[in-house]
């Protein structure tokens, strides 16, 4: 199935060589709630390289969702510098930021966020609407993208006619139809059962390997995080560790211990020159092997 695809997958779009897809320098985010300042992020620096596969992990309230919103340009930092797709977010107005999201970022949400009463192909084509692309071309590109996620036969189904896994695939297709540099997935398997979630993860990993889109996955699930080649652990609004692994961890329970023990002094260097993986072919294979041991917890649950 994947052999037929490479023509579709452009390499990371429009970014000059060596430019990170996303770069955050000492980024903080403070909310004002009834006059009380709450710091969700307290100075985070990290770089997402083109094509890499990173997991952002942390307990709820750690600031990982805030981080994802910032990385995706949905929110603005209250301090520090945030550069997405080579553009400093602070210099952009709301319309420019929207255009930047459209061009550079693809979002996959836990709750799918598909438009009801709208066919799969129209859902996938939605980002192209805001790019001013004509209806016919939109449909062609959306249909091709649905083919790539294995839903070529479900183009005109509505979300309520699709299973949860299929809905998330539609959402993934929508995230990738614009050829973004970064795919931000926020708990993409959170609403799915184990087997379906597994299939969705495989799909994300495959697309990451094939098309060279950087995959940043926010999760509180250690097992899911363990599959990524880079794990960024967030707690109390700070990056506790940022570690790269040539191979995914084979043992899910070992993950958190390793992460916490890893040196966190230089998160930026770990990412910047770290193992960006534009050559995804072997990584995908590694992901496949690393997956096997985790059948056990799924079976217990």
Partner 1 sequence: MRITEAWRVALDALRANRLRSALTMLGVIIGVASVVLLVAIGTGTKQKVEQQVEGLGSNLLLVVPGRIEVGTAPVVSPLDLKDVDAVSRVVGDPGRVAITIASGATVRAGTRSDFTTVQGVLETTPAVFTRSLARGRYLTGADVDTSRRVAVLGASVARALFPDRDPLGQQLALAGVRFRVIGVFAPLGQSLGVDRDDEVHIPVTAAQRLWGTQRIDGIAVKAPDREQIDELGERIVAELSRRHPDTEFSAVTQQQILGVLGDILGVLTGVLAAIAGISLLVGGVGVSNIMLVSVRERTREIGLRKAVGARPRDIGVQFLLEAVLLTSLGGLTGMALGVGTALLVDAVSPIPAAITWWSLALAFGVSAAVGIVFGVVPAQRAGRLDPVVALRAE
Residues at the site binding partner 1, with contacts judged by CB under 8 A: 69, 72, 74-75, 94-95, 98-99, 101-103, 107, 109, 113, 115, 117-118, 126-127, 129-132, 135, 174, 178
How many Cβ atoms are within 10 Å of 116's Cβ, its own excluded?
Answer: 8
Euclidean distance between CA atoms 270 and 268, whole angstroms: 5
Q: How far is the CB of 45 from partner 1 (least distance, A)?
A: 21
Q: How far is the CB of 5 from partner 1 (least distance, A)?
A: 22
Q: Which is nearer to partner 1, 5 or 98 (CB)?
A: 98
Q: How far is the CB of 133 from partner 1 (least distance, A)?
A: 9
The sign of the dihedral angle between the CA atoms of 48, 51, 52, 56 is positive
Q: Which is nearer to partner 1, 135 or 257 (CB)?
A: 135
Q: How far is the CB of 26 from partner 1 (least distance, A)?
A: 21
3-state secondary structure of 105: strand
How far from chain centre, in Å, is Cα 163? 22
Q: How far is the CB of 29 from partner 1 (least distance, A)?
A: 10
Euclidean distance between CA atoms 224 and 43, whole angstroms: 26
Q: Which is nearer to partner 1, 15 or 133 (CB)?
A: 133
3-state secondary structure of 245: coil
Q: How far is the CB of 96 from partner 1 (least distance, A)?
A: 9
73 contact partners, CB below 8 Å, separation of at least 6: 84, 89, 97, 100, 101, 104, 105
Tokens standing for residue 143: 């249909």
β strands within the chain, DSSP E:
22-33, 36-48, 53-57, 79-84, 87-88, 105-108, 182-186, 214-219, 230-235, 238-244
Q: Which is nearer to partner 1, 177 or 201 (CB)?
A: 177
Q: Which is nearer to partner 1, 69 or 231 (CB)?
A: 69
Q: How far is the CB of 118 from partner 1 (least distance, A)?
A: 8
Q: What angle do CA 220, 226, 229 make, to 5 degrees?
A: 120
How many Cβ atoms are within 10 Å of 7's Cβ, its own excluded?
Answer: 7
Q: Which is nearer to partner 1, 74 or 199 (CB)?
A: 74
Q: Which is nearer to partner 1, 174 or 277 (CB)?
A: 174
């Amino acid at each position: 199935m994947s052999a037929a695809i490479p023509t579709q997958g452009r390499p990371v779009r429009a970014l000059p060589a060596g430019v990170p897809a996303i770069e955050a320098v000492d980024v903080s985010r403070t909310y004002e709630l009834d006059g009380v300042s709450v710091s969700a992020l307290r100075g985070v620096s990290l770089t997402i390289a083109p094509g890499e596969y990173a997991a952002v992990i942390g307990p709820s309230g750690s600031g990982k969702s805030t981080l994802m919103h910032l990385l995706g340009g949905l929110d603005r930092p209250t301090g520090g510098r945030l550069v997405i797709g080579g553009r400093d977010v602070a210099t952009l107005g709301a319309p420019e930021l929207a255009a930047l999201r459209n061009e550079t970022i693809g979002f996959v949400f836990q709750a799918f966020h598909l438009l009801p009463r709208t066919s799969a192909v129209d859902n996938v084509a939605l980002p192209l609407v805001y790019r001013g692309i004509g209806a016919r071309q939109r449909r062609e590109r959306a249909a091709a993208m649905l083919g790539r996620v294995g839903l070529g036969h479900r183009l005109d189904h509505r979300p309520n006619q699709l299973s949860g896994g299929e809905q998330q695939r539609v959402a993934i297709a929508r995230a990738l139809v614009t050829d973004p540099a970064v795919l931000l997935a926020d708990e993409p398997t959170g609403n799915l059962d184990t087997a379906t979630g597994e299939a969705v993860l495989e799909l994300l990993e495959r697309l990451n390997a094939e098309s060279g889109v950087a995959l940043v996955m926010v999760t509180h699930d250690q097992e899911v995080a363990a599959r990524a080649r880079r794990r960024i652990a967030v707690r109390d609004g700070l990056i506790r560790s940022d570690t790269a692994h040539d191979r995914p961890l084979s043992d899910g329970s070992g993950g958190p211990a390793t992460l916490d023990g890893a040196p966190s002094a230089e998160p930026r260097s770990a990412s910047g020159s770290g193992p960006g993986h534009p050559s995804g072919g072997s990584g995908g294979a590694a992901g496949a092997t690393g997956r096997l041991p985790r059948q056990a917890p799924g079976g217990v649950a």
